[in-house]
Amino acid sequence: MSQQLSTTIAVIGVDIGKNSFHVVGLDQRGAIVLRQKWSRGQVEPRFANMPPCLIGMEACVGAHHLSRKLKGLGHDARLMPAKYVRPYSKGQKNDFRDAEAIAEAVQRPTMKFVATKTADQLDLQALHRVRERLVSQRTGIINQIRAFLLERGVAVRQGQRFLRLELPRILAAPPDVLSPRMVRVIEDLAGDWRRLDERIEGLPGGLRRNT
């Protein structure tokens, strides 16, 4: 890409991939003047050699990091929800058409943008996602314990606290209520439950909420 070409670019749409990025640049009239596929390692150096311009991306994995980098290079990087970009796609879907749709969408005065997250905000988001997964796993284990007990005629009042309190008594029930095999199964599940409780409790203070 020549320096002369780069100076004509007013708007760029970037379709972010895992290893490659499809880039479409438009001039002031909206004509395509750049249509290239870049490797991940090429993105930052190539944008560093461009005059500042408006750059649009969908708010997907990796977009916030790249947006911060591009802003640091002097570009006006903006993120958009993918659902708001789709109406600007033309013809059969492919990566270059997606990049072109992004370049079109980012110029719309009514477009709704997503604020670029800081590294700290992304850290907190990651912790919340981890917590949600752990809580979901714990809920699944508790529900499975309850289901196994109900299949054997043992009902426990709703709520983690009640099941936790009742389990020792239930596991000590005679074999005609719970077989030794089922006792071992539930003991293993209860162990998984305890370990998940410890993982959740070990998360940073702001995330330790009872669910």
Q: Which residues contact 26 (CB under 8 A, 6 or more apart)?
A: 9, 10, 11, 12, 13, 32, 33, 103, 104
169 with 141, same domain? yes
94 and 138 inside one domain: no
* Number of domains present in the structure of the chain: 2
Q: What's the confidence (pLDDT) of residue 152?
A: 92
User: Beta strands of the chain (E only): which ranges?
Assistant: 11-16, 20-26, 32-39, 54-58, 76-80
Distant-in-sequence, close-in-space partners of 189: CB < 8 Å, separation ≥ 6? 141, 144, 145, 148
Average pLDDT over residues 53-80: 96
- Evaluate if residue 206 carries a pLDDT over 90: no
Same-domain pairing of 123 and 100: no
One domain for residues 77 and 153: no
Here the CATH number for the domain that contains residue 34 is 3.30.420.140
Task: Count Cα atoms within 13 angstroms, Cβ side, for 19.
Answer: 0
- Residue 113, domain member (yes or no): no
pLDDT band of 52, cuts 50, 70, 90: very high
Question: Is residue 114 assigned to a domain?
Answer: no
8 and 96 housed in the same domain = yes
Question: Tens digit of pLDDT for each residue in 79-136?
Answer: 999 999 999 998 788 999 999 999 999 999 999 999 999 999 999 999 999 999 999 9
pLDDT at 7: 52
63 has a pLDDT exceeding 80? yes
Last residue of a domain, one of 82, 105, 128: 105
207 pLDDT exceeds 70?
no
Q: In terms of residue numbers, what domain contains 201?
A: 119-207
Same structural domain, 17 and 99:
yes
